[in-house]
Amino acid sequence: MINEGWGLPVAIYLFLGGLAAAAYYIGVTADIVSKGRFSNLARLGSYIVVVPIALGLLMLLLDLGKPLKFWHLMIQNGPLNDGLIFRPSSAMSLGVWLLNGFSLFCGLVYPLLWLAHDRKIPGIFGKDSFRQLIGIMGLPFAVMVAVYTGVLLSVTTQPIWADTPLLPVLFVISATSTGLAAISLALLFFRNDDAEAMLRLERGDRILIILELAVVAVLFIWLLFSPAAGGPVRDLLIGRYAVFFWIGFIIPGLLLPLYVQLYIKRNRGLVLKNLAITSSLLVLVGGFYLRYIMILAAG
């Protein structure tokens, strides 16, 4: 059941959780597929996970009002003396357990292995195969967290999102795009010499933006013909939330970054670092507003 008080903290939590999960699985996958050639993406992705997941959990605690309620979601009947019990039938309980696993494994252990590698700590430095194995073991947590951020709204009692299976798809694509944008920013600021990796990230982001536009179009066409969702969707497209939808999400989060990416592609010989930074920042803004307007529409 969706909390009628959901608002900005939960939107931030969904945004940061998806970004952190995507940054992790993008980096680990790039490292494995390239056989270590793009290991910098895994390094940057692992470091990126730490701050967003910590802030996201903080937003979740703020929304709950009392930090101890966080633990109540993990137990069977509510009292803490019932013990910690996994309840897959509860979306919130499942989400808390997933976040715990993701935070511990992907937000702590894996980044620490990279930090130990960077600091050349004896016994860990040079153990690339072991680090990759740990990275692979964390992939299911990262993917499930990215999917969960969309499923959470789909399983609510609000008919607008319960009527379509496309919302989790949209959230995963958006999360992956924001994860790419975050890694791109880190690459531009800390490893601007890695031109090949940057090209791959830009190409991937263009594809994701086009996919996201297509899914958004199909999603809203679908919902416009739903008796229960037609009104809220019209609120998003032309009503009280239209400014958030168009000025917060569609134009700055999808259309402008796509235009900038295509411009960069056509003018590869120019120094376009500032434009690349702008494109990534716009993607992040759009990713946040996507989640915010979805919560507003379901309120």
Q: Which two tokens stand for residue 178?
A: 């924001």
pLDDT digits (tens, 9 = 90+) for 42-57: 999 999 999 998 888 7
Question: Given a cut of 70, is residue 58 above it in pLDDT?
Answer: yes
Question: Given a cut of 60, is residue 212 above it in pLDDT?
Answer: yes
The total of structural domains in the chain comes to 1
User: Tell me, what's the pLDDT at 283?
Assistant: 97
What backbone phi and psi angles, to 5 degrees, belong to 56?
-65, -45
pTM of the model: 0.86
d(CA 74, CA 20): 22
Residue 270 sits in a domain of what CATH number?
1.20.1630.10
- Which residue range is the domain that position 154 belongs to? 8-298
Question: Given a cut of 50, is residue 71 above it in pLDDT?
Answer: no
User: Tell me, what's the pLDDT at 90?
Assistant: 56
DSSP-based three-state secondary structure for 128: helix
Q: Cβ-count burial of 155 within 10 angstroms (0-12 exposed, 13-18 middle, 19+ buried)?
A: middle
Question: Given a cut of 90, is residue 82 above it in pLDDT?
Answer: no
Q: 187 or 95: which carries more pLDDT confidence?
A: 187
d(CA 54, CA 76): 25
Mean pLDDT of all residues in 134-163: 78
Mean pLDDT of all residues in 151-180: 78
What backbone phi and psi angles, to 5 degrees, belong to 134?
-60, -40
What mean pLDDT value characterizes the chain? 82
Q: Is the residue at 3 inside a domain? A: no
Question: Given a cut of 50, is residue 125 above it in pLDDT?
Answer: yes
Best mean pLDDT range from 2-16, 219-233, 254-268: 254-268
Question: Given a cut of 90, is residue 140 above it in pLDDT?
Answer: yes
Q: Hey, which residues does 75 pair with through a beta bridge? A: 84
- For the chain, give me the number of helices (H) and strands (E)? 13, 0
pLDDT digits (tens, 9 = 90+) for 86-121: 455 555 667 677 888 898 889 999 999 999 988 888
Spell out a b/e string for 11-30, using b for 16 or more CB atoms within 10 Å of the CB, else e. bbbbbbbbbbbbbbbbbbbb
User: Tell me, what's the pLDDT at 234?
Assistant: 78
Q: Is the residue at 65 inside a domain? A: yes
User: Tell me, what's the pLDDT at 81?
Assistant: 43
d(CA 296, CA 267): 39
DSSP-based three-state secondary structure for 73: coil
Lowest mean pLDDT among 6-10, 11-15, 54-58, 111-115: 6-10
CB 224 within 8 A of CB 230: yes
Lowest mean pLDDT among 80-94, 174-188, 224-238: 80-94
Q: Is the residue at 1 inside a domain? A: no
Q: How far is residue 256 from each of residues 18, 154, 209, measured CA to CA in Å?
A: 22, 28, 10
Crossing angle for the helix pair 195-224 and 166-190, nearest 10 degrees? 160
Lowest mean pLDDT among 153-157, 198-202, 260-264: 153-157
Q: Is the residue at 124 inside a domain? A: yes
